[in-house]
Chain A
Amino acid sequence: MASGRAVVGENNRSTAIVPIRIPAEDPEALEDPRLSDVDEWGRSERTRAVVRALYDPIYSRWFRTEWDGLEKIPTEGGALLVANHAGAIPSDAPVIMHGIEKELERPVYGLADYFFRTIPVVGTLWARAGGVSARPANAYRLLREQNQLALVFPEGTKGPSKSYTDRYQLRRFGRGGFVEIAMRAGVPVVPIAVVGSEEAMPVVFRLPSVARALGVPYAPITANLLTMGPLGIVMPFPAKFKLRVLDPISFDVPADRDRYSKSRIMDESEGIRNQLQDAVYDMLRDRRSIWFG
């Protein structure tokens, strides 16, 4: 069959040539006239580079971040990074993402509640900087199909919303969904214990009625807000950040199952939570000063 046919006038646009089974062009050679480098997750490496340049002084001068065991993070293949989560606006997520991208030169996609997407400007910037909404399907696609690193905080908003009196007491790890996703994707879980995030922006008390009125997960009054005024909304205290990467945990189960044993998932989830909690306690035992480590 030829590539098509002309009907009536050659220059008649509305009835122009209708292609039928044109031999498809080489899919590799398809022209793709893109202008930006935004990927399917909304992440842009150019934006990431700007964010890295802006965040690096905070990472290395303000928080003076120190890593222990960074070599345990796989340099290739998918892995699910799991960490404890704290501070009203948690600094642990940008610190981990920045640190791994800086030291290992691997992109990290940060999974967070889809609530972020609903906030104008913030949602867009969050996506451009590597944020992805924490849907199981998204995590699976990142880990299994694209062999990426994904960072997740299984405590969810229960971590950052807890008050300073509960500092370094890890909350419940959701329903263990992160274990199930790692099993299905066939990737290891790499726990990362973080110390310093609690003191960077401590929650003094919470205003549940304000949170309800604004439709946000929690509305904290932070020590930063009380001491620095409006600047305290975004400005963390210069607590010393220390991170310890624990041994990767691989689950000896076949990938791509529809279901996995719920009891196994809960056991593994609880086990990882205990490991992280122990590591945090251990790091706190060695910490002499909040500000100098």
Chain B
Amino acid sequence: MATRVLVTGADTFWGGRMVQALESDPGIDVILGMGTRAPSVPFERAEFVRADQHYSIMSRIVKATQVDTILHTFMITNSATVPRRVMHEINVIGTMNLLAAAGAAGSPVRHIVVKSSTLVYGSAASDPNTFTEDTPRTSPVKNAVERALIEAEGFVRDFSEDNPGTKVTVLRFANVLGNHLSTPISRNLSRLVCPAIFGFDPLFQFVEEDDVVRALVHVTMGGIPGLYNVAGEGRLPWSEVASICGTRLVPVSPYSLLNIRPMARLFDLPPELEDLLRYGRGVDTRRLAATGFTYNTTSAGAVRTFIRALRLRRQSGRQPMSYTYEHDVEQFFRHSPSVMSAGEA
């Protein structure tokens, strides 16, 4: 049972959501958010520590706070967000340092949960229709984000073999759509026109934002080790995704990368989407379901949740500024003797 939890990437979308989700569980005594920038969402009782992206102070933090669970959400699965080198630093070097700290002699860590992606399976014509967690990928690794994730998962696998006393969970999430998250897919779907590769209509499987958080909470609180795919029920062709979203598909020539490269820039298509737009990807989700996890949303439901939120954003005025992290204020509320109950500002 997790009682002292460290969340990496607490300043990012997923880290912030995970901290908030864990805060509402009274069973957890200590929640520690780690991030490279100030958090973008308010934390009620979690402490925030600023650290560089490859966690050089990780082992000190782990020793000092005696955390029993590390929730590693800081994995870049979208190469459009950061430069290639930075992504390598974060995914590969960051994971490596995190595992080194967790595996040090006398480490208090008993459970590590890693947020990965179904990108590790790739996407190719030779793929089976459905990837189970044990199906190897059939195509060579072509882009940096997949390579980094595979490498990071490799470290996690080695760690799990070397440290039988520590539970290790890896969740591979399918493409996420939902109320808030902005990804290349969601940005393309929110425009008037959306690229499709001429003559291809691949099947997509999506997972809804809240189901991502729920799945991570499920394995963290349940102490469930193992490797699991996480994706909503059902698959739908790209053309159907586009029509649910009310966007028009623009066919891009399927031949020659010369045609795709400028298009990629024009349409905001990172390299990991090029093959996905041809062949799609399907994953088997029965293993996670067998641990007692149930989804609230299907693949098509995730698409609809996303487009309904987008319609609201389009049709309503600008929202007030969400939240600005102020270190002194947060420290005051947590540690000042004058504060009677934390967070009730």
Is A11's CB within 8 Å of the partner chain B?
A: yes
**Quick one: closest B residue to A140, CB to CB?**
B128
Does A265 sit within 8 A of B, measured CB to CB? Answer: no
Instruction: Given A33-B304, A135-B129, check contact A18 B20 (CB 8 Å).
Output: yes
Give the distance to chain B from A28, nearest Cβ to Cβ, in Å: 11
A22 contacts B214, CB within 8 Å?
A: yes
Residue B191 at the chain A interface, CB threshold 8 Å:
no
Measured CA separation A137–B17 after assembly (Å): 37
A11 vs B321: C-alpha distance when bound (angstroms): 11
**B213–A18 CB distance below 8 A:** yes
- B217-242 with Cβ < 8 A to chain A: 217-218, 221, 233-237, 239-240
Contact status A24-B295, CB under 8 Å: yes
**Contact A32 B200, beta carbon cutoff 8 Å:** no
Q: Is the CB of A4 within 8 A of B24?
A: yes
Chain A residue nearest to B217 in the complex (CB) = A20
Residues A38 and B236 in contact in the complex (CB < 8 Å), given A33-B304, A120-B200? yes
User: Min CB distance, A20 to chain B, in Å?
Assistant: 4
Q: Which interface residue of A14, A20, A25 has the most chain B CB atoms within 10 A? A: A20
CB pair A117 B279 closer than 8 Å: yes
Complex Cα spacing A33 to B305, Å: 10
Q: Contact: B323 with A8, CB < 8 Å?
A: yes
Q: Which of B197, B210, B236, B323 contacts A34 (CB 8 A)?
A: B236
Asked whether any CB of chain B lies closer than 8 Å to the CB of A230, the reply is no
In this complex, how many residues of chain A approach chain B with their Cβ under 8 Å: the count is 48
- Give the CA-CA distance A2 to B303 in the complex, in Å: 26
Expressed in whole angstroms, the Cα–Cα distance for A27 and B130 within the complex equals 21
Chain B residue with Cβ nearest A27: B294
Restricting to B92-151, which residues have a CB under 8 Å from any CB of A?
125-130, 135
Please give me the residue from chain A that is nearest to B18 by CB atom. Answer: A18
Asked if B301 is at the interface of the complex by the 8 Å CB criterion, the answer is: yes
Q: How far is the CA of A2 from the CA of B25 in the complex (A)?
A: 10
CA distance A120 to B196 in the complex (A): 12
> Among the listed B22, B236, B298, B319, which residue makes an inter-chain contact with A30, where contact means beta carbons less than 8 Å apart?
B298
CA distance A86 to B221 in the complex (A): 58
Residue of A whose beta carbon sits closest to that of B17? A18
User: Hey, which chain B residues are within 8 Å of A21, CB to CB?
Assistant: 214, 217-218, 221
Interface size on B, residues (CB 8 A): 57
How far is B244's CA from A132's CA once the two chains are assembled, in angstroms?
26
**Also in contact, A20 and B21, with CB within 8 A (given A15-B322, A30-B233):** yes
B337 on interface, CB distance cutoff 8 Å? no
Q: Which B residues are in CB contact (< 8 Å) with A14?
A: 40-41, 180, 319, 322-323
* Interchain CA distance A121-B254 in the complex, whole Å: 10
Complex Cα spacing A138 to B132, Å: 12
Q: Do B237 and A36 touch (CB < 8 A)?
A: yes
Whether A19 pairs with B282 at a CB distance below 8 angstroms is: no
Q: How far is the CA of A119 from the CA of B199 in the complex (A)?
A: 8
B300 contacts the other chain (Cβ, under 8 Å)?
A: yes
Contact A35 B323 (CB under 8 A): no
A118 touching B125, Cβ below 8 Å: yes
Are B40 and A5 within 8 A (Cβ)?
no
Residues of A within 8 A of B199 (CB): 119-124
> Is B203 among interface residues, defined by CB-CB distance under 8 A?
yes
* Bound-complex Cα distance A22 to B24 (A): 12
- By the criterion CB–CB under 8 Å, are B296 and A25 in contact? yes
Q: Answer whether residue A9 sits at the interface, using C-beta atoms and an 8 A cutoff.
A: yes
Going nearest first, the 5 A-B pairs with the smallest beta carbon separation are A120-B199, A24-B294, A137-B128, A121-B199, A117-B125
